[in-house]
Chain A
Amino acid sequence: MFCVISFIVLSILGVFSAENRSLAREALDCVLRRVTLRPCNTGFDEKMKARILGFVITKTETGARILNRFFEPLSWIFVLLFLGSAFFAVRGVYLFYVTGSCNGLNQSGFCVFDPTGQSNQISNVGESCPVVLPGEDPVSLKGVNLDGFPVLNAEGEKSIVFIGSYGCEYSRKAYPVVRQLAEKSAARFTFLYYPVKESSDYLAKVGYCAYRQDAEKYWSLVDTFFTAERSQIEDESFIRQTLSEAGYNADTILFCASDPQTEWVVKKQLSEVVKTGFFGTPTVFIQNEVLIGPKPPRVYAIALNGLLYWAR
């Protein structure tokens, strides 16, 4: 078993040194002989064992004695550890590719490819917003009534539901990616605006009125709110200007937004959003998957179109 672990280690080291390459070749020969149930006749295992013992004995005699006595079992342990760690490494790479995190979808543990955990960052719905904490129930669209929410490509076969907030940095990052994917894939795109700050509550009502008045113009309005400076979207004059530029009558929309009936409907809509059990934005539902935080574009694409999304 020592030959196997040596071959693996030396093959890796052999990338950097010719001496290790030649040792790796010896180890390979030894491995091939072992797997065909023949003894290793190159003396490789003896040679390496002696070298290792020679090194260890200068540090600790007891350690060398133990190593000499349990050399084969220790080799087995190292091989098993290697196989275990190799499995987790491969799994980590796969999960990172598919979910944007080495630990799995929406899992926040350390990931070497995303050390700062950007793929899982969300704007929590905080103190200044209606408090929504992660519940025991999983985040889901089950029992949530999506009627009345803005929809793009209503006839699309596949479905994307995006919960985001104009004031949320991570929503701003994810929105253009998801929106583009929805357009490219002709997927049904439902936008659930959920303000993470009270100051942007107002935009929920503006958005509701704008969508009711003209659904087509609505999306350019959303695009502008997501790309504008965050300080601007709380400014009424900016909202007016944006509404006008989108082709709306700003006065009409703002009047509608101040209507108590609108407030009631919007509150109802927000309570529907809360029913999803989400706890931060962006939260994206693609088909049956829930993606929390801004993921790399490929993760959304894989969720919508499968692993071979790029071949479609």
Chain B
Amino acid sequence: MNIQKIRQDFPLLGWSNGRKPIIYFDNACQSLRPQAVIEAVQRYYEETPACAGRSMHRLASEVSRQVDEARQQVARFLHAGRKEEIVFTRNTTEAINLVANALDWKAGDVVLLTDKEHNSNLIPWQMLARRFGVCLKFVPSNPDNTFNLAAYQQALQGGVRLVAMGYTSNLDGVSIPAEEVVRLAHKQGALVLLDAAQTAPHQRLDVRRLDADWVAFSGHKMLAPSGIGVLYGKYRLLETMQPFLVGGDTVASSTYEDCQFLPPPEKFEAGLQNYAGIIGLGAAIRYLQQIGLENIEKHETALNQYLSEALKSVPGLQIIGPADARLRSGIVSFFIPGVDHHRIALMLDQMAGIAVRSGQHCVHSWFNSRGIPGSVRASVYFYNTEEEARQLVDALIKIRKVL
């Protein structure tokens, strides 16, 4: 993997606006976009800015073909059985909301979560608890924030309707043993939804091997345009689910009294779709596959190891999650007790052009329960270099001397 050559594909990495070139370590929030994706989106608006599946003219036919191709591409990317199992959404949050609102709930149904879920995989279930009396249970993590399999097994015993878990945590980069989680859940008759927003961009996903019932992820964290996400669902489940958003393009026909829904995935894709985003997602997946997800994962792990080791030289700095960087994907979330995390992030930006995330990263529940005000999160991707990591550490050492 030639990183220097890869970096040339990302316009922002060569752009400095008269200031220091940007060092982008906020990939867990949103990745940068390569020229190929930008061009794919631009091509859509320039050459085929039309509706797919509705109009009959050649522009519409071309868009339909491209959307279909992108859906096929996503299916292959996930190793799904058929492309109809791919539902396009706006993002992971909408995909999770779709599942939450498409099942028939009754009071006492149990939804099992981990104790460090992103709000996207927490609030939708809290709403069900309010509306239907659904019961939420949380699997406590181990002291080092890794997944507590024993606690999970124990939690499953009480009868669980749905296990909804983040595959890879956006807080610390720790992944759950997804295959084992799914196997144990299914054994207890529970359905499984995996929030793979932080997984899909960084490691190979095989939904059939995982056997998860639903997998959700976003395009904007994996080079695709913002506003496009994916819900993979087993076809037989999608068929039985009630549509969440309804309206145009979800029905085959309607009378004044009733309607006949289209089969999945159309019945879940209401209204005009984000065609530019879908086509861009296809281009992003092509780009990722050219590089190879195994290469990406390997590079990120090595970079995280380097970064985690180097960060030991910053006095007082504490990394959230396990000490072994190999367990933290491409994420290093850290804090310095007594030093404001936002101040660190702003200073990194101001002094060295380093973009990191600061705050509670939409995992307020975890921070609030532990009384930690927040953290600084540096998340790497395949275009980041060891030199950039070194600059981050150097800047942090300087900041630590001052603050």
Contact = CB atoms under 8 A, between A and B. Distances in A.
Interface in A47-73: 47, 49-51, 53-55, 57-58, 61, 64-65, 68
A125 B364 CA distance: 83
A297 interface: no
A201 B133 CA distance: 112
Interface band, chain B:
10 to 19
Interface in B310-364: 340, 342-351
A61 B402 contact: yes
A57 B342 contact: no
Contacts of B402: 53, 57, 61, 64-65, 68
B342 A58 contact: no
Nearest to A47: B346
A176 interface: no
A63 to B, nearest CB: 9
Nearest to A65: B402
Instruction: Tell me the interface secondary structure of chain B in the complex.
Output: helix
B343 A58 contact: no
A57 B343 contact: no
B401 interface: yes
B342 A54 contact: no
A65 B346 contact: no
B402 to A, nearest CB: 4
Interface string A61-102: 100110010000000000000000000000000000000000
Contact of B346 (A51, A58, A61, A64): A51
B398 interface: yes
B401 A50 contact: no
Given A65-B402, A68-B403, A57 B347 contact: yes
A46 interface: yes
A3 B345 CA distance: 21
B347 A46 contact: no
Interface string B375-403: 00000000000000000000000110111
Contacts of B348: 54
Contacts of A50: 340, 342-347, 350
A57 B351 contact: yes
A138 interface: no
Nearest to B395: A57
A46 B350 CA distance: 13
Contacts of B351: 54-55, 57-58
A43 interface: yes
A57 B348 CA distance: 10
A58 B342 CA distance: 18
A53 B348 CA distance: 10
A119 B348 CA distance: 54
Given A54-B348, A54-B350, A54-B351, A49 B398 contact: no
A88 to B, nearest CB: 33
A65 B398 CA distance: 10
A46 B343 contact: yes
B178 to A, nearest CB: 37
Contacts of B401: 61, 65
B353 to A, nearest CB: 10
Contacts of A51: 346-347, 350
A46 B339 CA distance: 11
Interface in B49-104: none
A58 B399 CA distance: 10
Nearest to A69: B402
Contacts of A58: 351
A50 B346 CA distance: 6
A53 B347 contact: yes
B36 to A, nearest CB: 33
B398 A57 contact: yes
A57 B346 contact: no
A43 B347 CA distance: 14
A64 to B, nearest CB: 4
Nearest to A51: B350
A55 B351 CA distance: 6
A50 B356 CA distance: 14
Contacts of B347: 50-51, 53-54, 57
A275 B150 CA distance: 109
Nearest to B340: A46
Nearest to A63: B402
A46 B345 CA distance: 11
A57 B342 CA distance: 16
A300 B351 CA distance: 57
Contacts of A57: 347, 351, 398-399, 402
Contacts of A64: 402
B350 A43 contact: no
A43 B358 CA distance: 13
A49 B343 contact: yes
Nearest to B399: A57
B350 A55 contact: yes
Nearest to A49: B343
B237 to A, nearest CB: 44
B399 A46 contact: no
Contacts of A61: 398, 401-402
A46 B359 CA distance: 13
A43 B346 CA distance: 12
A62 to B, nearest CB: 9
A61 B403 CA distance: 11
Contacts of A65: 401-402
Contact of B342 (A46, A53, A55, A68): A46
A176 B398 CA distance: 69
A43 to B, nearest CB: 6
A57 B343 CA distance: 13
A45 to B, nearest CB: 10
Nearest to B358: A50
Contacts of A49: 343
Interface string B216-255: 0000000000000000000000000000000000000000
B360 to A, nearest CB: 14
B92 to A, nearest CB: 27
B355 to A, nearest CB: 13
Nearest to B348: A54
Q: What are the 7 tightest A-B residue pairs by CB atom distance, in nearest-first order? A: A54-B350, A50-B346, A54-B347, A50-B343, A54-B351, A64-B402, A65-B402
Given A50-B345, A65-B401, 4 more contacts: A50-B344, A54-B348, A54-B350, A57-B351
6 contacts: A46-B346, A49-B343, A50-B342, A50-B343, A51-B346, A54-B348
